[in-house]
């Protein structure tokens, strides 16, 4: 148990997990979330083509989740996470060559491997260890909220760099000029990821033998069989799948701001960054509240918030003349989505998933839970391209409403089954 106590008392350990947990996803996800209109412009993509890039990522990530999970139960996280960060940054340097659609799909497939295989399960397991038995909401709330803060900070810096180097009439400037400007943003993110990798390699350590504590001695099929027998694993598959659809839909907020609300590129990017600022506030607040009350109950409440917020957008009542309603609805929806991200792994203790099998469980859960990486991008792209303007966005948010209701049902069942039980792991 030394690892638990040391990790819990070491805030720098959690800080590095937060830093790496956001840095790893900046290039494949944060970049197009904040700069979606610009990314589509400088890479000459439509919504469907950008969605296909995300699908290439998701297809590779699916296998990476499954096979990478058991590795996290065998080896300590430090080296696995650092290698993942360095490999992801190398992909960023290739991105500055502005490859065509095929090149981008290959790049996103590469990122599907580098960001998941040696990274995802080790990060979740290390966060769970930090939280111990009584502070899972705090651990995952601070972790996801802190990642949101890092994303907001680096995103704001990216917007600043983009604005500083943009020509005065950016929209009328030659493509090569806009690409050259955007290259500075990609370089900024890539060097940041490299730096975080070095910090993790040298400082994400637990002294002595404790670095091996909580690991299995060998990787075997029995780990997978043990995990598949747990009802909580199957419920979490559905909960995370539905919650992750909501997170994918936040990618189009900056596009909604430009296409429906009529904002320019810079202001639309600032809207995307504003949502990133919400993430730490929501994640930390819900995590702390959940530990003092009931984590499983707040998981269900978060789905209710997501459903109500998405229904407001799907209704078609939000337009250029409804600025206050736009921001209110965005805040409402984002609160539900970001709260879910802070809480769905925090209920693993309640769901009686053994600590030593956390990596394997995360791999199995993620195999289903993160399938939106495969289908959500093309689905959103289809609606946005086939039904231009507000109508396409209504269909996307309508889809999210359905998933939020389904996830809410799974979360309610989880709460009824495990909400009143003491974890025995």
**Token digits for 400?**
């999210």
Residue 151 tokens read as 């994303």
Q: Does 131 score more than 90 pLDDT?
A: no
Domain count, the chain: 1
CATH of the domain at 316: 1.20.1250.20
Residue of 303, 333, 306 whose CA lies nearest to 318: 333
pLDDT at 252 over 60: yes
CB contact at 8 A, 256 and 393? yes
Residue 101 has a pLDDT of 93
Q: Which residue has the higher pLDDT, 151 or 48?
A: 48
In a domain, 399, yes or no: yes
Is 402 part of a structural domain of the chain? yes
In a domain, 233, yes or no: yes
Distance, in Å, from the CA atom of 298 to the CA atom of 339, rounded to the nearest integer, reads: 8
Contact 255, 37 (CB under 8 A): yes
Dist. CA 282–CA 302, nearest whole Å: 11
Mean confidence (pLDDT) of the chain:
84
C-alpha dihedral (395, 396, 397, 398), degrees to nearest 10: 40
pLDDT, mean of residues 219-247? 88
Cα gap 163→365, rounded to integer Å: 40
DSSP one-letter code for 365:
H
Summarize the confidence of residues 332-361 as an average pLDDT: 88
Domain ranges, residue 116: 2-418
Q: Is residue 346 part of a domain?
A: yes
Q: How high is the pLDDT of residue 172? A: 55
Closest by Cα among 415, 5, 424 to 210 = 5
Residue 423 falls within a domain, yes or no? Answer: no
Residue 122 has pLDDT above 90, yes or no: no
Query: What's the pLDDT tens digit per position in 198-226?
Result: 999 988 876 544 555 555 445 557 777 88
Residue 20's contacts (CB-CB under 8 Å, 6 or more residues apart) are 81, 85, 119, 123, 196, 197, 200, 204
What pLDDT shows up at residue 58?
85
d(CA 225, CA 294): 29
Length of the chain: 425
CB neighbours (10 Å) of residue 406? 17
Instruction: Tell me, yes or no, whether 137 lies in a domain.
Output: yes
Mean of the pLDDT values across residues 244-253?
Answer: 87
157-197 confidence digits (pLDDT tens): 888 887 777 665 555 566 677 788 889 889 989 999 999 99
Is 424 contained in some domain? no
């Amino acid at each position: 148990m030394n690892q638990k106590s040391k990790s819990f008392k070491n805030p720098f350990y959690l800080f590095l997990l937060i830093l790496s947990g956001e840095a790893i996803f900046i290039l494949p996800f944060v970049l197009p979330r904040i700069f979606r209109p610009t990314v589509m412009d400088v890479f000459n993509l439509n919504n469907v083509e950008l969605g296909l890039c995300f699908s290439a990522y998701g297809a590779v990530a699916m296998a990476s989740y499954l096979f990478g999970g058991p590795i996290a139960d065998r080896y300590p996280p430090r080296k696995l996470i650092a290698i993942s960060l360095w490999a992801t940054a190398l992909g960023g340097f290739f991105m500055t060559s502005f490859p065509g659609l095929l090149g981008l799909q290959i790049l996103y497939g590469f990122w599907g491997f580098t960001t998941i295989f040696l990274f995802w399960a080790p990060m979740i397991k290390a966060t769970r260890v930090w939280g111990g038995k009584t502070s899972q909401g705090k651990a995952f709330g601070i972790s996801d909220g802190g990642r949101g803060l890092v994303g907001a900070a680096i995103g704001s810096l990216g917007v600043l760099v983009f604005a500083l180097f943009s020509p005065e009439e950016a929209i009328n400037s030659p493509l090569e000029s806009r690409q050259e400007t955007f290259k500075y943003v990609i370089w900024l993110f890539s060097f940041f990821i490299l730096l975080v990798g070095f910090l993790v390699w040298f400082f994400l350590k637990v002294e002595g033998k404790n670095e091996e504590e909580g690991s299995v001695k060998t990787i075997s099929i029995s780990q997978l069989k043990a995990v598949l027998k747990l009802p909580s694993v199957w419920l979490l598959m559905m909960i995370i799948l539905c919650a992750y659809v909501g997170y994918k839909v936040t990618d189009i907020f900056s596009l909604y701001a430009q296409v429906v609300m009529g904002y320019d590129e810079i202001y639309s990017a600032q809207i995307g960054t504003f949502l990133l600022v919400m993430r730490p506030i929501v994640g930390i607040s819900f995590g702390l509240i959940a530990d003092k009350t009931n984590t499983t109950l707040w998981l269900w409440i978060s789905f209710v918030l997501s459903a109500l917020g998405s229904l407001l957008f799907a209704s078609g009542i939000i337009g250029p003349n409804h600025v206050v309603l736009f921001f209110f609805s965005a805040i409402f929806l984002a609160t539900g989505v970001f709260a879910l991200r802070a809480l769905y792994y925090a209920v693993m203790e309640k769901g009686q998933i053994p600590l030593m099998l956390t990596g394997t469980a995360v791999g199995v859960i993620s195999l289903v839970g993160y399938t939106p990486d495969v289908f959500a991008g093309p689905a959103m792209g289809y609606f946005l391209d086939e039904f231009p303007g507000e109508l396409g966005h209504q269909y996307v948010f309508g889809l999210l409403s359905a998933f939020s209701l389904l996830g809410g049902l799974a979360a309610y069942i989880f709460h009824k089954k495990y909400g009143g039980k003491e974890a025995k792991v």
